[in-house]
Amino acid sequence: MKKIEVGLLGATGMVGQRFASLLEDHPWFELRWLAASDRSAGKKYAEACNWRLRKPMPAKVRELVVHECKPGRAPQLIFSSLDSKVAGEIEKEFAAAGHVVVSNSSNYRMEPDVPLLIPEVNPGHLALVRTQRKERAWKGMIVTNPNCTTVGLAMSLAPLERAFGIEKVVMTSMQAVSGAGYPGVPTLDILGNVIPFIKGEEEKVEQETQKLLGRLDGGKIIPGGFIVSAHCNRVLVEDGHTETISVSLGRKAAIEDLIQAWRGFRDLPQERDLPSAPKHPIVVREEPDRPQPKFDVEAEGGMATIVGRVRPCKVLEYKYVALSHNTIRGAAGAALLNAELMKSEGYLD
Amino acid sequence: MKKIEVGLLGATGMVGQRFASLLEDHPWFELRWLAASDRSAGKKYAEACNWRLRKPMPAKVRELVVHECKPGRAPQLIFSSLDSKVAGEIEKEFAAAGHVVVSNSSNYRMEPDVPLLIPEVNPGHLALVRTQRKERAWKGMIVTNPNCTTVGLAMSLAPLERAFGIEKVVMTSMQAVSGAGYPGVPTLDILGNVIPFIKGEEEKVEQETQKLLGRLDGGKIIPGGFIVSAHCNRVLVEDGHTETISVSLGRKAAIEDLIQAWRGFRDLPQERDLPSAPKHPIVVREEPDRPQPKFDVEAEGGMATIVGRVRPCKVLEYKYVALSHNTIRGAAGAALLNAELMKSEGYLD
Amino acid sequence: MKKIEVGLLGATGMVGQRFASLLEDHPWFELRWLAASDRSAGKKYAEACNWRLRKPMPAKVRELVVHECKPGRAPQLIFSSLDSKVAGEIEKEFAAAGHVVVSNSSNYRMEPDVPLLIPEVNPGHLALVRTQRKERAWKGMIVTNPNCTTVGLAMSLAPLERAFGIEKVVMTSMQAVSGAGYPGVPTLDILGNVIPFIKGEEEKVEQETQKLLGRLDGGKIIPGGFIVSAHCNRVLVEDGHTETISVSLGRKAAIEDLIQAWRGFRDLPQERDLPSAPKHPIVVREEPDRPQPKFDVEAEGGMATIVGRVRPCKVLEYKYVALSHNTIRGAAGAALLNAELMKSEGYLD
Amino acid sequence: MKKIEVGLLGATGMVGQRFASLLEDHPWFELRWLAASDRSAGKKYAEACNWRLRKPMPAKVRELVVHECKPGRAPQLIFSSLDSKVAGEIEKEFAAAGHVVVSNSSNYRMEPDVPLLIPEVNPGHLALVRTQRKERAWKGMIVTNPNCTTVGLAMSLAPLERAFGIEKVVMTSMQAVSGAGYPGVPTLDILGNVIPFIKGEEEKVEQETQKLLGRLDGGKIIPGGFIVSAHCNRVLVEDGHTETISVSLGRKAAIEDLIQAWRGFRDLPQERDLPSAPKHPIVVREEPDRPQPKFDVEAEGGMATIVGRVRPCKVLEYKYVALSHNTIRGAAGAALLNAELMKSEGYLD
């Protein structure tokens, strides 16, 4: 099979680097076009990019020239990890010009006609692009993935919602510094410290979770009928957002039922064996002190949500811990899986 | 005034070091007698103790000889920071022999006839020692302070309970490594990591909070009529436990009412100007990203609870962040203030 | 005594904050005028400055308006912690306009007619300002202090140079992140890492040390007749540069002689009891594993150099460890002591 | 080829875990027998061992029962990562009983008749076991690898010694916490700190380097005719010892000559393509700020020494930075490569 050429907006940032790394040996996609801010445009990627991943920069992107963020001769399929300050305009321009923009940026996530997707959770929401095309004069389209903190929460709630219904959720996150990009969090801010505030994060988590677990009906999403309260914090971890979650369910369920729901959770990505799909979207750890970012964040190539410590909650019904890799499953890997879903659904032909 | 001689059980540990440091220039108490495990007994404190505080070891304790943990010739007033594995037997032995044991250990906290005290929160519970003396054949007594994680929670809830009543509380802690003593948490466990489990901690927080905010009635404590759910985590912070708290109240209250309740909170320690009492037991920070352990943990000499970020909670009613110094207000300073309360109430005459 | 009004260039940076903090209760100087980049100009200090010190911002500077970096109505005595990218022009402008600029910036340190001062080491070099005034058409003057890494090295070498002569020095530094200012070192660069390179640092240390330990002769400095080799590294420490030093001496000396030279070291700042002078400019620790930044960096208010582990070196003659607070003795405190020396020498009348 | 069964003494420690991990898919060796302290003996490895590596415990060792450290039915080839407190007696007992003990412990390294080996550096020293067998009444033998800090130094010096001769070396290490084993360094000791002392380390580095670069002559080692001075420090890094090195050479050489010597360095392990041999024993990085543990420590599977920043030294001749993985190349991987060398030399038949 000839690989599909893809482009990348925001190629030099932390998430852009993850995209470049994850696309290195991708069986379907070939990264051939990079774009970033004007400061980088015109340089080779190896010069423009301050590579911060432990895995070295893929050889085949080193020599690619970084372009300005203009549609023109970019490939049809475009991944975007642009800063939200500029993503709004640029992604619109690409979509209008006929590109399929698979975006990690927050700008369009909550637009009523833009799919906010986790392929295991709400693959059917992809059909929302029909509304999008009807309502906007775009030749292309925009599809988004959730915030890095939403992902672990929504992934771990989805099987519970399907099996028992969900009513209330209280979540506290302990988020990794890579979530703030590069240079991101200054060492002087976080060494020996906790920062109990991440601008806009709690609102995103609360809203996105409801959209993700909502229902597509008559061309629009009916948000999930539960409520979420989020407390978001930054801690001194490199990769991996850890979340403590209390939840009350719609129906009675035993702890074993929850574990079974998580362990049995699978959907289109697993059924169709999409290249980036984790075999086990949810990994359940049984040790009393897991998951931990240091040991668990790389499970299933960073694409799994790891849960553990499920136990009764005196205020809601159950409580547990969830962990998710914020720049893989929470960003670049999420968008990549979205694109794979779109390909398998025929959106890229 | 001649100072009261005091002794210290568990003198070489992290909390023991805090006791020694806080007692250095205490106006009422003079640290004259130290005891620790057999390994240390017979050595001078400067040799027996691997001092880990930034503030140097007080000159006057350097030459004190460390004794075995036997009553004998110890002063009447004894602070205890013994490991809970041995505290049960040793503290009992001291109390039986006539000592007033002001303990930071967990062993007796939940005993029905042992006061679990925060002097600003439930000073009246001290009267429980009358029951204790009646029921146990002790010439002395044991008085305890709460767990280091309970303190910030209970301190911040107390003014809300008094003003509006409390119904439900969900708390997630991000706890400092000094809470695990020394050597405590291995670097290899926590560098770049979060450990979402601290053995026994959640149970302590849930139970102790109810006892602290309970009512003394007919010689026993009627626990507070609310429920608490705790999620406890270890993070890479040296001192200071940060807590995210969601709470529902018994009566309607505006955010301003909560802030006013916190700002106006004071009780016996402030009224009597006890030496270790913080002027403001609760400090309210108004910046969007505070409190933070790095900047706020030393407020009021480590004796304040610092709160911030109060805002509506979609699931319960309000949510906020609380911070408390775990080895000062959460341990040695707590016991010290308990002893000061006891002195001012005439228990040490 | 009426206090001397002083101004501060670069008031919002990390070193600017240290200046503001150290000047809070200064007996001679009163901070009355602040300046910073255009982005901050016009705002109140409390708004313009992202305060990063644990000790809170002094109340009396909170309301001061931040000015542009123009001479005009600034006080005569000006401290400068400007970024070296802009310090060259601005400091010249202030000196030309008649101000006494006591600078922490690197721009003029190695100019032949600009004193590079450590008041305990080379107070006599201050006389170089006469040459400066003769050769430049300035009504004012510029006086500088060394780089934060040079200070611990030069302070610990000075007593050895005086007593025994010095021939060769090999130094490796392990430098704190606060040395890079704010935002400075990104967490993603340094968490779990060592960065074995700091641009321009090794050259500064090698040259400045020779100038500092040089001799003023006929209106110019004859550099010290020894050679220095520096290896500079960044490590995950907040404050305090640790240095391992190997040295060969001009004359034979026993370890006890070195210790005695360090312990007996004092000069004008101590003789005149200058307000910021450490009682013991060099503190010798005898434990096998000290000095350590965590425990020793605050010695003498951050103004001492702490040495330890002196022992024979198989390649040179002796080796030892030195520690110095990089933003106090290595920056703001250094300039402050320079200004105190100048005042006591009659340069500010 | 039928795999050779091997045993492992000290199986539950950090280095023991590395052995188990590196042996997981080894083409020549099969880990079949584990031993550790009495506390672990009798338990399954999965229960006895607090696994601390990010890569999960190999499935095939999980169920192996941990034995006492007694020869008896252990395989002939034994790897040892015993604590030096007990290694002396136990390794002797195994060697006497006929086992080939390939040890990472320090006890026998400096014995005149025990090979201290780096297969790329001094493979010929292996012949020293003939002397060993003659002089000791052992049926087996002991072969050792150097200290984790020595390795990066000796590896980077070896090509320089061969090409130009070496005269003097001054080395400062910044060592990872994993070098101290588990639980090892308490967080309270190292968070935000540097510890400028590691007991016995400097002596080991100075002596071992001379033995490694010495010459086997008439059944004994003539130590290298150069001198080494080591300064050893602990920093907050998980894996990877970084070293700054100044060196003076026996003959004149240009920087390019040094780089060429490093790049061209290879010996028996590469010629015979031993399974654990790095293709490039020395990797030269040309960026101004490398090597760094975060990005470079895993080069060549942790078996390479990475050097960079070679530049003139004003005191000696050249200076550079070297990095080596302390628990792979500096411990378990080193012993493994020793065993592979022994196999290829016919010592295991």
Q: What is the CATH number of the domain that holds D271?
A: 3.30.360.10
Of all residues in chain D, what percent carry a pLDDT higher than 90?
99
Contact A97, A105 (CB under 8 A): no
Q: Phi first, then psi: what are they for C172, rounded to 5°? A: -120, 125
**Pairwise CA distance, residues C318 & C301, whole Å:** 28
- D34 pLDDT higher than 80: yes
Is the domain of A272 the same as that of A174?
yes
Residue of C188, C189, C239 to mutate, interface with A, max A Cβ within 10 Å: C188
Contact C145, C116 (CB under 8 A): yes
Task: Tell me if C122 is assigned to some domain.
Answer: yes
pLDDT of residue B130: 94
In degrees, rounded to 5, the angle at the alpha carbon of residue D217 between the alpha carbons of residues D216 and D218 is: 125
Is the domain of A314 the same as that of A165?
yes
- D116 pLDDT higher than 80: yes
**Pairwise CA distance, residues B16 & B9, whole Å:** 8
Q: How many domains does chain A have?
A: 2
Element containing residue C263 per DSSP (H, E):
helix C255-263
Task: Please give the distance of CA C331 from its chain centroid, rounded to a whole number.
Answer: 4
Is the domain of D140 the same as that of D161?
no
Helices (H) and strands (E) in chain A, counts: 12, 14
The residue assigned the tokens 């998951």 is: A291
Task: Tell me if D109 is assigned to some domain.
Answer: yes
Is the domain of A137 the same as that of A166?
no
Active-site residue identified among B148, B232, B280, B325 = B148
Residue of B nearest to D183 (CA): B186
- C1 pLDDT higher than 80: no
Contact B315, B285 (CB under 8 A): no
- Number of other CB atoms surrounding residue B311 within 10 Å: 14
Contact between D192 and C237 using a beta-carbon 8 Å cutoff:
yes
Q: What is the CATH number of the domain that holds C22?
A: 3.40.50.720
Task: Please give the distance of CA D277 from its chain centroid, rounded to a whole number.
Answer: 13
Question: pLDDT class for B24, splitting at 50, 70, 90?
Answer: very high
Is the domain of B181 the same as that of B311?
yes
Contact B102, B79 (CB under 8 A): yes
Dump pLDDT digits (tens) for A133-177: 999 989 999 999 999 999 999 999 999 999 999 999 999 999 999
C346 reaches B (C-beta below 8 A): no
Cis peptide before B146 (omega within 30 of 0): no
DSSP string, C4-42: EEEEEESTTSHHHHHHHHHTTT-SSEEEEEEE--TTTTT
Is the domain of A173 the same as that of A117?
no
pLDDT of residue D259: 98
Helices (H) and strands (E) in chain D, counts: 12, 14
Nearest Cβ partner of C194 from D174, D196, D315?
Answer: D174
Considering only residues 170 to 229 of chain D, which have any Cβ-Cβ distance to chain C shorter than 8 Å? 170, 172, 174, 191-197, 199, 206, 227-229
Q: Of D238, D188, C298, nearest to B238 (Cα)?
A: D188
Residues 6+ apart with CB under 8 A from C7: C31, C32, C33, C34, C35, C74, C75, C77, C78, C79, C99
pLDDT of residue B72: 83
Contact between A289 and B237 using a beta-carbon 8 Å cutoff:
no
Task: Tell me if D140 is assigned to some domain.
Answer: yes
Q: Give yes or no: B325 in active site.
A: no
- A107 pLDDT higher than 80: yes
Q: Give the count of alpha carbons within 13 A of C48, CB side only.
A: 27
**Pairwise CA distance, residues B17 & C216, whole Å:** 51
- Number of other CB atoms surrounding residue C63 within 10 Å: 10
- D1 pLDDT higher than 80: no
Task: Tell me if C349 is assigned to some domain.
Answer: no
Structural domain boundaries, residue C173: 148-325
Dump pLDDT digits (tens) for D186-207: 999 999 999 999 999 999 999 9
- B1 pLDDT higher than 80: no
Dump pLDDT digits (tens) for A305-325: 999 999 999 999 999 999 999
pLDDT of residue C72: 84
Handedness of CA D110, D115, D116, D121 (dihedral sign): positive
- Number of other CB atoms surrounding residue A144 within 10 Å: 26
Straight-line distance from the first to the last Cα atom of chain D, in angstroms, rounded to the nearest whole number: 13
Q: Of A305, A321, A274, A290, nearest to A155 (Cα)?
A: A305
**Pairwise CA distance, residues B318 & B171, whole Å:** 12
Enter the pTM of the model.
0.97
The pLDDT mean for chain B works out to 97
Dump pLDDT digits (tens) for D119-150: 999 999 999 999 999 999 899 999 999 999 99
Task: Tell me if C113 is assigned to some domain.
Answer: yes
Residues 6+ apart with CB under 8 A from B242: A194, A196, A233, B173, B174, B235, B291, B292, B293, B321, B322, B323
Element containing residue B159 per DSSP (H, E):
helix B148-164
Task: Tell me if C137 is assigned to some domain.
Answer: yes
Contact between D54 and A298 using a beta-carbon 8 Å cutoff:
yes
pLDDT of residue B232: 98
Strands (E) in C150-202, as ranges, are 166-175
Of all residues in chain A, what percent carry a pLDDT higher than 70?
100
User: Taking the C-alpha atoms of C173, C174, C180 and C185 in order, what is their torsion angle to the nearest 10 degrees?
Assistant: 140
Of all residues in chain C, what percent carry a pLDDT higher than 90?
99
Nearest Cβ partner of C54 from B191, B192, B294?
Answer: B294
- C152 pLDDT higher than 80: yes
Residue of A168, A172, A234 to mutate, interface with B, max B Cβ within 10 Å: A172
Q: What residues does A168 pair with on adjacent strands?
A: A227, A248
Is the domain of C121 the same as that of C46?
yes
Is the domain of C163 the same as that of C134?
no
B288 reaches C (C-beta below 8 A): no
CA distances from D194 to B95, B191, C182, D190 (A): 44, 15, 22, 6
Task: Tell me if C278 is assigned to some domain.
Answer: yes
Dump pLDDT digits (tens) for B127-152: 999 999 999 989 999 999 999 999 99
Is the domain of C62 the same as that of C12?
yes
**Min Cα separation B52/chain C (Å):** 8
The pLDDT mean for chain A works out to 97
CA distances from A97 to A100, A228, A342, C167, D24 (A): 9, 37, 19, 71, 53
Q: Give the count of alpha carbons within 13 A of D156, CB side only.
A: 29
**Pairwise CA distance, residues D290 & D302, whole Å:** 16
Contact between C294 and B192 using a beta-carbon 8 Å cutoff:
no
Active-site residue identified among C49, C67, C125, C148 = C148
DSSP string, D178-234: GGG-SS-SBHHHHTT--B---TTHHHHHHHHHHHHTSEEETTEEE--SSEEEEEEEE
pLDDT of residue D72: 84
Task: Tell me if D349 is assigned to some domain.
Answer: no
B233 reaches A (C-beta below 8 A): yes
Q: Phi first, then psi: what are they for D140, rounded to 5°? A: -100, -150
Q: Of D192, D72, D91, nearest to D140 (Cα)?
A: D91
Mean pLDDT of C344-349: 92
Q: What residues does C66 pair with on adjacent strands?
A: C34
Is the domain of C182 the same as that of C251?
yes
**Pairwise CA distance, residues B117 & A245, whole Å:** 30
**Pairwise CA distance, residues D64 & D31, whole Å:** 10
Q: Of B107, B152, B115, B154, nearest to B132 (Cα)?
A: B115
CA distances from A337 to A26, A28, A342, D289 (A): 11, 11, 9, 36
Of all residues in chain B, what percent carry a pLDDT higher than 70?
100
Contact A105, A19 (CB under 8 A): no
Is the domain of C188 the same as that of C126?
no
Is the domain of C299 the same as that of C219?
yes
Dump pLDDT digits (tens) for D63-88: 999 999 999 899 999 999 999 999 99
Chains that touch D (3 or more CB pairs under 8 A): A, B, C
pLDDT of residue A203: 98
Q: Give yes or no: B241 in active site.
A: yes
Mean pLDDT of D266-281: 98
Contact D265, D205 (CB under 8 A): no
**Pairwise CA distance, residues D326 & A178, whole Å:** 26
pLDDT of residue D281: 98
Q: Which residues of B touch C191 (CB under 8 A)?
A: 192
- D60 pLDDT higher than 80: yes
Residue of B187, B190, B236 to mutate, interface with D, max D Cβ within 10 Å: B187
ipTM for the predicted complex:
0.96
- A349 pLDDT higher than 90: no
